[in-house]
Amino acid sequence: MHKSPCNQKPNIGLSIIFPSWNRRQDTLDYLGSIKQSPFPQGQIEIIMIDNHSQDGTVKLVQQHFPKVKIIELDKNYGPAYARNRGIEKAQGELIFCSDNDQTLTTNTLPILANHLQTNPEVGVVGAKVVSKTKPHQIISCGYTWNRWLGTECGLKNCGRVKECDWIAGCSMMFKKSLVDKIGLFDEKFFFFGEDADFCLRAKKAGYKVVSLPNAIVYHGKSKSPRAKRVGPKNSQSQIPENSDFSKDYYDYYKAKFRLILKHSNLPQKIISISLHLTFFSLLRYLAKKKENIVLKVKAFSEALRNIEQ
């Protein structure tokens, strides 16, 4: 029997998911950049998960972009939790995970989508992330991870398509069917690590993770132009200058140790964790960088307690 158009489900090809927490103008700018994409607008679904913004973000988005679907939370549960709530509601074949303080170049979405659809061996693709204020400064084009050291490093050659270990969560696209195979983001990662864990699980399932330099995302990176670093150079370990360093230091290492415990074999775990608790801490101390071995040990204990057997 023929169904009338009003009874048919919309043909959603792409679900764009992002958490928001204040930054109302950044959010409006991001939504405006999506609207400029040549990706068929009728096939795009936008889901914003608001972490209890207090600056009128939700009201402004409803006013200027009424088609955006909004999930309102009662507090900030972290990016993994927010993205998972969006993925659960998403109808698109493709999922693009992003942040609200970024903008896209015109062809970013088509480039990412085309690579996924024409390369079935690829599970996750990501864009090159550059600074909004300094467009020549590359923030991320993918990361590699040394399991023996437990350290991550940003790819250095961002001019060509490259495989990597993980993609930054602000520029990550994958098929929704991938979630059926490997699961949602791990919500035990709060401030760091949920993107790395997701990509490493995709690789373990046999998929490639690929960085595409022609797809570009302009990102605000932090609430302040200055940032404190808690991990190695070229890592994801930058936190806002005006944040609680001790808390973010603890959260970062709890995530790092959880990543090691989930994705390394026993010899790698022993060596990398020992290095972080001893040798690397000594190096940071000698370099007169902020270091707190007590917090680091507590972070390891918490990660060990929460790890799934």
Whether the pLDDT of residue 297 is over 60: the answer is yes
Which of 82, 102, 122 lies at the terminal end of a domain, its last residue?
102
- Whether 244 is in a domain gets the answer yes
Strands 171-175 and 122-131: antiparallel
User: What is the domain extent for residue 49?
Assistant: 10-102
Q: At what angle do helices 24-35 and 57-64 cross, to 10 degrees?
A: 30
- Whether 42 is in a domain gets the answer yes
- Whether 239 is in a domain gets the answer yes
- Whether 34 is in a domain gets the answer yes
- Whether 92 is in a domain gets the answer yes
Confidence at residue 4, expressed as pLDDT on a 0 to 100 scale: 38
Rounded alpha-carbon distances, angstroms, from residue 64 to 30, 70, 120, 204 = 12, 13, 37, 42
Whether the pLDDT of residue 23 is over 80: the answer is yes
Distance CA 251, CA 231 (A): 12
Whether the pLDDT of residue 262 is over 80: the answer is yes
- Whether 175 is in a domain gets the answer no
The CATH number of the domain where 67 resides is what?
3.90.550.10
Q: What is the DSSP letter of 16?
A: E
pLDDT tens by residue, 54-68: 999 999 999 999 999
pLDDT tens by residue, 173-223: 999 999 999 999 999 998 789 999 999 999 999 999 999 999 999 998 544
Whether the pLDDT of residue 283 is over 90: the answer is no
Confidence at residue 271, expressed as pLDDT on a 0 to 100 scale: 96
Backbone dihedral region for residue 203 (phi beyond 0: left; psi -120 to 50: alpha; all else: beta) = alpha
Give the residue from 95, 126, 147, 84 showing the smallest Cα distance to 212.
126
215 touches 111 (CB < 8 A): yes
Which of 102, 135, 151 lies at the terminal end of a domain, its last residue?
102
DSSP element (H, E) containing 173:
strand 171-175
Distance CA 31, CA 99 (A): 11
Whether the pLDDT of residue 295 is over 60: the answer is yes
Whether the pLDDT of residue 7 is over 60: the answer is no
Q: What is the DSSP string of 241-274?
A: TTS-HHHHHHHHHHHHHHHHHHHS-HHHHHHHHH
- Whether 144 is in a domain gets the answer no
User: Looking at the 3D structure of the chain, how many domains does it have?
Assistant: 2
pLDDT class for 10, splitting at 50, 70, 90? low
17 touches 87 (CB < 8 A): yes
Whether the pLDDT of residue 279 is over 50: the answer is yes
Whether the pLDDT of residue 268 is over 70: the answer is yes
Mean predicted lDDT score pLDDT of the chain: 88
For residue 267, how far is the Cα from the chain centroid? 28
Which of 102, 119, 145 lies at the terminal end of a domain, its last residue?
102
- Whether 232 is in a domain gets the answer yes
The one-letter code for the residue type at 120 is P
178 touches 202 (CB < 8 A): yes
